[in-house]
């Protein structure tokens, strides 16, 4: 029961983080379309790091 | 033009194959002793069984009119190191039994298979005794070097890579433009070089690490795609496999660390001296433990979660059969599985890319040499 609540909290946190990353990247690309490639790469790396954190917490919580 | 065509063809092939998973699974969905999987517990057990590694290669199983279970597939070799030495035989000798009732006698060693793990019976015991938690009390585990389904998958991926890349390499002897499979592989190799290795490791040193990055990229990608076929591989969803890959990366960046990297890790310049040991500890734990751990967990959890969702959606056709009837529930499950499988094709590529990318990033951090012109 409690680990399910914990999993929900992790997903909320990860979702906020991914939303921030994605939103800011979109803004960046809209402002500077010529830098889209670089922004996308950086976005994916940060997203992956965040994902690692969230999955780590999920696995440890299980 | 042909490159895009072959990518299209490949994608369509993958989509068709992954939708076939439905049929493969519906055939094997009556795995339990009662012959029916219809309670939430049995479906959960069924999904877990399919995520785990196994000693034989089962394509599907069914019950014939006479009420017998028939298994279609082929056995794989079992290689175990027991208390009496090395024993080898084919997994068909277990007759698909997975609860320890079929005993294989090799010389003076009695072996049983319980939940896809091979146990050796203790001296004098002639059948397995279970305690209340369903743990065997009179048997112990053996060292298992078997060619399991996952090992078979890895060998298959290795073979595919060997064939594909040797044909690509041969192509360059004839002319500058590769033909056949090479047309598909060349842009991917260039992509790994120009978008992953060069920007992250640096123009001077990236060449040394290209073999590893290319191998790890194609190994993970091919295994992820194999996991979407109805053959039911789940290799990159085995934590031992991803842990091994992460350890490779860690060993490579730790052994190739430049003088500057170790100086910055162990004795950070430009920071008050009292803080330096604390920072060194944090940096060391980060590079030795946390970075490889996040690499291995990310790949493992992504692939396992993907397989779990696909299997759960397939199980919809069983759980919703009573409410909506067989046709509607099967149709729904098929559509949803197809949808998720298409996303999984993207995830398969993305996870291979991210693993390679982060490996390159960590290697780049380790081999970087700072110019000491500017003060820190």
- Express as a percent the part of chain B with pLDDT over 90: 27
Most confidently modeled of B38-47, B55-64, B306-315, B345-354? Answer: B345-354
Q: What is the pLDDT of chain B when averaged over all its residues?
A: 83
| Cβ neighbours for A29, distance < 8 A, ≥ 6 positions apart | A35, A36, A39, A40
pLDDT tens readout for residues B289-335: 989 998 999 999 889 888 988 888 888 888 888 888 888 888 989 99
pLDDT, position B47? 81
Number of CB pairs, chain A paired with chain B, less than 8 A apart: 34
- What is the nearest CA distance from A1 to chain B, expressed in angstroms? 17
Q: Is B361 on the interface with A (CB under 8 A)?
A: yes
CB-CB neighbors (< 8 A) of B350 in chain A: 44
- Cβ atoms of B212 and B248 closer than 8 Å: yes
Per residue in B1-31, pLDDT (tens digit) is 455 666 666 666 665 555 554 444 444 444 4
For chain A, the domains span: 17-61
Note whether B297 contacts A56, CB cutoff 8 Å: yes
The phi, psi pair for B65, rounded to 5°, reads -60, -30
Q: Averaged over A4-16, what is the pLDDT? A: 91
Instruction: Read off the pLDDT of each residue in B262-280 and give the average, rounded to a whole number.
Output: 86
Nearest CB neighbour to A52, from listed B294, B353, B357: B294
Tell whether the model's pLDDT for residue B95 goes beyond 70.
yes
pLDDT on residue B362: 92
Q: Do B302 and A55 touch (CB under 8 A)?
A: yes
Q: What is the pLDDT of residue B374?
A: 53
pLDDT confidence of residue B30: 41
Interface of chain A toward chain B, CB-CB under 8 angstroms: 41, 44-45, 48-49, 51-53, 55-56, 58-59
In chain B, residues with a C-beta closer than 8 Å to the C-beta of A53 are 294
Confidence of residue A25 (pLDDT cuts 50, 70, 90): very high
Which of A55, A61, A62 is best to mutate for the B interface (most B CBs within 10 A)? A55
| pLDDT at res. B209 | 94
Distance from CA of B136 to the nearest CA of A (A): 25
Average pLDDT, chain A: 88
Distance from CA of B362 to the nearest CA of A (A): 12
Q: Which residue has the higher pLDDT, B155 or B22?
A: B155
Q: CB A52 to CB B295 under 8 A?
A: yes
Overall average pLDDT of the B204-228 stretch: 93
**Percentage of the residues of chain A whose pLDDT score is greater than 70:** 98
Strand runs labelled E in chain B: 56-63, 69-75, 77-82, 85-90, 104-106, 109-114, 117-121, 139-141, 143-144
- Taking only the tens place, the pLDDT of each residue in B69-94 is 777 888 888 888 888 888 888 888 88
pLDDT at position B34 is: 44
- The least confident of A39-43, B63-67, B144-148 is B63-67
Angle at B347 between CA B150 and CA B356, to 5 degrees: 75
Residue B2 token pair = 């042909």
pLDDT digits (tens, 9 = 90+) for B98-115: 777 788 887 778 888 887
Residues of B within 8 A of A56 (CB-CB) are 293-294, 297
Q: What per-residue confidence (pLDDT) applies to B357?
A: 92
How far A44 CA lies from chain B's nearest CA (Å)?
8
Stretch B158-164: mean pLDDT, rounded?
93
B293 touches chain A (CB under 8 A): yes
Higher pLDDT, B196 or B64: B196
Residue B35 clears pLDDT 60, i.e. is over it = no
Q: Closest residue of A to B357, CA-based? A: A45
What do you get for the CA distance between the two ends of chain A, in Å? 11
Dump pLDDT digits (tens) for B231-240.
878 899 889 9
Question: Across residues B180-206, what is the average pLDDT?
Answer: 89
Is A51 within 8 Å of B361 when comparing Cβ atoms?
no
Of B199, B293, B354, the CB nearest to A56: B293
Torsion of Cα atoms, B357 then B358 then B362 then B365, to 10°: 60
For residues B113 and B55, is the Cβ–Cβ distance under 8 A? yes
């Amino acid at each position: 029961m409690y680990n399910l609540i914990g999993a929900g909290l992790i997903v909320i946190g990860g979702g906020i983080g991914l939303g921030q990353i994605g939103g800011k990247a979109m803004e960046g690309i809209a402002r500077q379309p010529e830098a889209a490639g670089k922004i996308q790469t950086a976005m994916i790396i940060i997203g992956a790091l965040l994902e690692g954190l969230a999955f780590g917490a999920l696995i440890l919580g299980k | 033009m042909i490159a895009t065509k072959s990518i299209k063809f490949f994608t369509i092939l993958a989509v068709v194959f992954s939708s076939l998973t439905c049929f493969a699974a519906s055939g094997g969905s009556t795995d339990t002793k009662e012959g029916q999987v219809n309670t939430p517990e049995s479906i959960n057990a069924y999904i877990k069984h399919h995520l785990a590694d196994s000693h034989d290669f089962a394509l599907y199983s069914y019950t014939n009119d006479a009420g017998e279970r028939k298994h279609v597939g082929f056995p794989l070799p079992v290689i175990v190191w027991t208390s009496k030495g090395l024993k080898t035989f084919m997994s068909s000798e277990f007759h698909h039994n997975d609860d320890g009732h079929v005993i294989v006698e090799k010389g003076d060693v009695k072996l049983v298979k319980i939940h896809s793990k091979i146990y050796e019976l203790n001296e004098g015991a002639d059948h397995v005794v279970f305690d209340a938690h369903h743990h065997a009390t009179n048997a112990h585990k053996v060292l298992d070097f078997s060619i399991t389904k996952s090992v078979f998958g890895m060998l298959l991926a290795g073979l595919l890579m060997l064939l594909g890349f040797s044909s690509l390499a041969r192509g360059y002897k004839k002319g500058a433009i590769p033909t056949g499979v090479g047309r598909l592989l060349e842009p991917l190799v260039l992509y790994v070089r120009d978008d992953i290795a060069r920007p992250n490791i640096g123009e001077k040193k990236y060449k040394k690490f290209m073999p590893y990055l290319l191998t790890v990229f194609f190994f993970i990608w091919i295994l992820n795609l194999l996991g979407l076929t109805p053959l039911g591989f789940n290799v990159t969803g085995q934590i031992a496999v991803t842990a091994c890959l992460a350890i490779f990366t860690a060993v490579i960046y730790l052994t190739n660390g430049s003088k500057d990297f170790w100086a910055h890790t162990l004795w950070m310049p430009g920071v008050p001296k009292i803080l330096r040991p604390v920072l060194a500890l944090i940096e060391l734990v980060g590079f030795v433990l946390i970075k490889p751990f996040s690499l291995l967990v990310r790949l493992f959890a992504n692939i396992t979660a993907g397989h779990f969702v696909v299997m759960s959606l397939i199980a919809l056709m069983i759980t919703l059969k009573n409410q909506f009837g067989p046709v509607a529930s099967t149709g729904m499950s098929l559509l949803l599985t197809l949808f998720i499988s298409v996303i999984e094709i993207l995830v398969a590529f993305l996870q291979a890319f991210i693993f390679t990318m982060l490996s390159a990033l960590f290697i780049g951090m380790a081999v970087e040499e700072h110019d000491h012109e500017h003060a820190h």
